[in-house]
Structure formats: C-alpha cells, structure tokens
Amino acid sequence: MRKFYLLKTFFVCFAFVCSQADAAIECISKVSNSVTTPDWHCSKHCGDWANTRPMQTLTLEMDQKFKNMGAFFRNPSSSCVGGALCGFSNIPTPGVSANAEQVKLSFKTWSRPVVVTVSADICVVNNAAPPPTPSSNPVVLPSNPIPPKAPVVAPAGKPPVPPQKAHDVEEAGPLADNCDRMKSNWFVDAKNYCSPHNVNLSATNLVCSQRPDGLFRKVSGVFICTP
C-alpha cells in the first residue's frame, strides 16, 4: 500500500529532493534484508563476552530503476526475531546515507542464532497527490523564490516488478541443521522483496548446502517476482 506524506510549506527539501509549492512524498515500495546470526552463546566464564563479539552489518541499496525515478529511502527500521534471545543483542535504528540511497544497520548479538532484519520505504516526491486543505493562515511567498528542480512523478498503479536477485540465507553453529526451516525463511525474504507483487515459486530453484563439519548451512536461490 502506498503512503502519502503531505508537505504544506512553500519550499520543501528532503535529502537531495526539493520541490516548490505543495507536493507529497509518496512511498511506492518497501524493501528489507535479513540475516540469521551465528551461534555466539556463552554458558560459563563469560566475562566480557558481549563486548568482544564482532559488529555485524546489514545494508539496503537503492535499485537503479528507483534511482532513475528520483527515489529515496524513508522510515528505516530494524527488528529481531528470536524471542527472549533478542535480549542479548544491541540492534539500533538504522541510518540513512546523505544521498538517501543506502540504509545501513550496524548491530551486535551474543546469543544463540536470531534473525535480524533491516527495512525501509522507497519514496518519491509526487506533485500529483491531492492538494492540502486550505489554511486560515496562508503562506506568504517570497518575491524572488529559488527555481526548484521538477519532482519526478511516480507511475500510477503498482510499482515496477523488482528484477531478479540472488539471495542467500545462512546459519552457523549447532542449530544450522534444518534446510526446510531455512527455506521458509528464504521465502519470507522473497515475499518482502517482491511485495506487492507475487513470488514465482515454480521457477525458484533453492539449493541447500552444508559444510562438512555440519556447523554451517546455506540456502541459495534467486528472487523471481511476477505481477
């Protein structure tokens, strides 16, 4: 579902996008990226265990087709799935780059594996949005306003179908022992990537591979979206 954020000021700037008069920020898609963390459980003599666990990073990169529309990331968020295990982590709010084309989450865990996800809306400035309700205190325009850049109008209907994209779900440690569960996690990521479109399940060829020592497993496949 698209989200609209109405901007009522004369001169509006968000990241690198500026527009004059009344415009609206329209969020046309939502993207996410997830990872299953390694097994970093400590049962005794843990001491400074939490502080010595390495930082991990998840990123979202703006797809070129959205860059061509003048899109930018908005509303970045992070989440953890793992119940009480998520209490043994430090997962802050993600940051957005200066040009609003990348979202980065740096986090740390020190428990059994959990699933950490970073998400954000992809938005554009859309002058075709409904006009705002007239104000009783109208804005007085300056006599010589700075000429703005023309905003890019988003296409009507659904956003473009995302391109095919290779994606891996990885797990490490003694709990990395269930291909079916990891495939289910992979399909959840696929649905998030293709939304609001569908995932072509019949054309998806998932491969589950495991290291000889049994302590690392990976499910690999390609996101294929259909209208």
Query: What gap in Å lies between CA 44 and CA 53, rounded to an integer?
Result: 15
More confident residue, 134 or 88: 88
Report the chain's mean pLDDT, rounded to a whole number.
78
Query: pTM higher than 0.75 for the full model?
Result: no
pLDDT at residue 138 in the model: 58
pLDDT at residue 44 in the model: 85
Percent of the chain with pLDDT over 70: 72
Most confident of 13-27, 41-55, 61-75: 61-75
Indicate the range of 45-49, 53-57, 127-131 predicted with least confidence. Answer: 127-131
- The 10s digit of each residue's pLDDT in 80-92 is 999 999 999 999 9
pLDDT at residue 156 in the model: 59
pLDDT at residue 6 in the model: 44
Over residues 22-28, the mean pLDDT reads: 77
Q: Could you tell me which of 150, 186, 64, 50 has the C-alpha nearest to residue 107? A: 50
pLDDT at residue 37 in the model: 95
Confidence of residue 205 (pLDDT cuts 50, 70, 90): confident
Indicate the range of 12-26, 33-47, 137-151 predicted with least confidence. Answer: 12-26
More confident residue, 117 or 226: 117
Whether 17 shows a pLDDT value over 50: the answer reads no
Confidence of residue 121 (pLDDT cuts 50, 70, 90): very high
Over residues 78-107, the mean pLDDT reads: 94
DSSP secondary structure letters along the chain: --EEEEE-SSEEEETTEEEESSEEEEEEEEEEEEEEPP-----SS-TTHHHHSPPEEEEEE--HHHHTTT-EEEEEEEEEESGGGGGSEE----EE-TTSSEEEEEEEE-SS--EEEEEEEEEEEETTSPPPPPPSSPPPPPSSPPPPPPPPPPPSSSPPPPPPEEEEEEEESTT---HHHHHHHHHHHHHHHHTTSEE-STT---EEEE-TTSSEEEEEEEE-EE-
